[in-house]
């Protein structure tokens, strides 16, 4: 990695060790001492390595591909995984364009022939790019740059990407089509999509058979997107006039049936290999990791919502409030929660809602599991089959800002809500539709009882007899003489015997010790 990465960490006050060339066992032996791990493509972050990484909070990949990181295992352990998708985008896009020119004009073969002392001018009859149709599979960051360059070459661009909106297609100047239409129309096809279960083998034998005869194919994205054996047969038959691969299914590709095939060009995964790109990704991964470790800002994370350095301070009190609300719901309702809705209104509606939802889930799932954070809480929620939704209200209600959490249980919907007093003081304002104002901090008792005279005295007597001091006492009720709720902050944890005694007081329906 470019040495500027380590320099940035040190400038930001972080201690950094540069340890290139470690074997997997050597890395595993020391990883437990580190909060962050900055890697390139050669380092494999496996489940086994993550199990040994007791302190690890973030893995930063200097580059775009994260095939070498076990994302599910990292998420389950609460480790943020970041990449740098923009640092080498231009470099990779330019490499794809370079290979397209090389295919169109048969440059490698012409160079080899000429340097061998031949002058085979008539043998290398190329084609122009002007007026040809480029088929773009994947229209994300790199794909959009390739499209821009191709349009500058006066090519027509058709794009297949399930995530490409019609509005974005118009903005890019491309025509959005389905895959079969692209295969049938494209004179050149270039791939710019990640390798997933959906994209693996996207240019299969069947897909290659649907291409326009004489098509030329470029892949600077990921090996495994193309069936390489089928591509070899298509080149031999003339269905494909030329192919240029920078990536292979198995790397390093020291042997391939494609090697030596007429019309085939290969490079050793050079897409990101320029001096500018290497510097850019090193700087970006260091800045992103340092921001996260020092401020909580999350940029280009694979497994959690992004949170900019500007947003982080403003969102921090809301996330603290949201986590407390999640803890309250989890401790009171427990396993009965089957679905969760997170609503924001007023000032909170102007913020990014995903981190607020993540904080609610972290609080909720922390009631069931140890070592839960915003990274692994959504994973744990999915494992439990918990349905999670988000709602944003632009209007302002009784409070200038509000976060509401609605839990669906077999008994119905139960709601809690909170606001901020001042800029950063979280307060509960509703608990299961009972108005009550309380701080959620330290050990507390949640008590539901019949609203009758003398209850508070009996409660105070029990706590006093057990040397439990009351810090704050917050009350609310639905109706006079009906159901009442007490949230009591106490200075010490109540034991099971105290809870049992409280439950025996006349009119008490529920007693739940809480911890925040």
Which residues participate in catalysis according to the annotation? 222, 251, 269
* Residue 70 tokens, joined: 């076990």
**Dihedrals phi, psi of 297, to nearest 5 degrees:** -70, 140
Residue 99 burial class via C-beta count within 10 angstroms: exposed 0-12, middle 13-18, buried 19 and up: buried
Q: Report the alpha-carbon distance of residue 494 to residue 478 in Å, rounded.
A: 27
Residue with tokens 């986590």: 323
Q: Report the alpha-carbon distance of residue 143 to residue 140 in Å, rounded.
A: 5
Beta bridge partners of 342: 390, 405
Beta bridge partners of 343: 391, 404
Query: Any idea what the Cα angle at residue 295 is, between residues 292 and 297, rounded to 5°?
Result: 50
Residue with tokens 């959490």: 405
* Cβ–Cβ < 8 Å for 79, 103: no
**Dihedrals phi, psi of 43, to nearest 5 degrees:** -80, 130
Omega before residue 252 within 30° of 0, cis: yes
Q: Report the alpha-carbon distance of residue 436 to residue 156 in Å, rounded.
A: 63
Q: Which long-range contacts (CB under 8 A, 24 or more apart) does 203-210 make?
A: 203/137, 203/227, 203/230, 203/231, 204/230, 205/230, 205/233, 207/179, 207/183, 208/234, 208/239, 208/240, 209/234, 209/239, 210/180, 210/183, 210/184
Q: How would you list the strands of the sheet with 175-176, edge to edge?
A: 175-176, 156-160, 133-137, 188-191, 215-219, 240-245, 264-266
For 168: left if phi > 0, alpha if psi spans -120 to 50, otherwise beta; the answer is alpha
């Amino acid at each position: 990695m470019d040495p500027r990465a380590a320099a940035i960490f040190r400038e930001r006050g972080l201690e950094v060790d540069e340890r290139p060339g470690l074997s997997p066992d050597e890395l595993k032996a020391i990883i437990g001492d580190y909060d962050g791990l900055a890697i390139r493509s050669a380092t494999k972050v496996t489940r086994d390595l993550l199990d040994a990484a007791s302190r690890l909070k973030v893995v930063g990949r200097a580059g775009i591909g994260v095939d070498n990181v076990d994302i599910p295992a990292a998420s389950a352990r609460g480790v943020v995984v970041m990449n740098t998708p923009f640092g080498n985008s231009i470099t990779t896009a330019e490499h794809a364009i370079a290979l397209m020119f090389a295919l169109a004009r048969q440059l490698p073969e012409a160079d080899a022939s000429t340097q061998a002392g031949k002058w085979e001018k008539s043998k290398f009859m190329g084609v122009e790019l002007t007026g040809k149709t480029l088929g773009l599979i994947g229209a994300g960051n790199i794909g959009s740059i390739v499209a821009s360059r191709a349009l500058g070459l006066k090519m027509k661009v058709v794009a297949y990407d399930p995530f490409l909106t019609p509005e974005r297609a118009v903005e890019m100047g491309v025509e959005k089509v389905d895959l079969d239409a692209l295969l049938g129309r494209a004179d050149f096809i270039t791939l710019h999509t990640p390798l997933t279960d959906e994209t693996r083998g996207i240019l299969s034998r069947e897909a290659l058979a649907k291409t326009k005869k004489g098509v030329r194919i470029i892949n600077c994205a990921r090996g495994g997107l193309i069936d390489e054996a089928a591509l070899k047969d298509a080149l031999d038959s003339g269905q494909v006039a030329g192919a240029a691969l920078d990536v292979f299914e198995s790397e390093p590709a020291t042997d391939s049936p494609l090697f030596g095939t007429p019309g085939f060009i290969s490079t050793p995964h050079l897409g990101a290999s320029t001096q500018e790109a290497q510097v850019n990704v090193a700087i970006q991964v260091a800045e992103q990791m340092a921001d996260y470790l020092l401020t909580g800002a999350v940029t280009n994370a694979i497994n959690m919502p992004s949170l900019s350095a500007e947003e982080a301070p403003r969102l921090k009190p809301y996330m603290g409030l949201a986590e407390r609300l999640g803890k309250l719901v989890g401790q009171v309702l427990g396993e009965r929660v089957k679905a969760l809705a997170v609503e924001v209104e007023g000032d909170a509606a102007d913020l990014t809602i995903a981190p607020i939802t993540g904080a609610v889930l972290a609080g909720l799932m922390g009631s069931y599991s140890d070592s839960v954070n915003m990274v692994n809480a959504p994973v744990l929620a999915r494992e439990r089959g918990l349905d999670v939704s988000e709602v944003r209200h632009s209007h302002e209600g009784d409070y200038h800002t509000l976060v509401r959490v609605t839990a669906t249980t077999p008994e119905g919907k139960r709601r809690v809500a909170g606001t901020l007093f001042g800029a950063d003081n979280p307060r509960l304002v509703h608990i299961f539709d009972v108005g009550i104002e309380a701080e959620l901090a330290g050990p507390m008792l949640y008590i539901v009882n019949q609203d009758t005279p003398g209850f508070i005295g009996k409660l105070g007597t029990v706590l006093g007899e057990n040397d439990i001091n009351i810090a704050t006492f917050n009350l609310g009720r639905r109706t006079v003489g009906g159901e009442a709720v007490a949230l009591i902050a106490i200075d010490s944890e109540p034991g099971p015997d105290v809870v049992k005694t409280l439950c025996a007081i006349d009119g008490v329906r529920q007693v739940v010790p809480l911890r925040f």
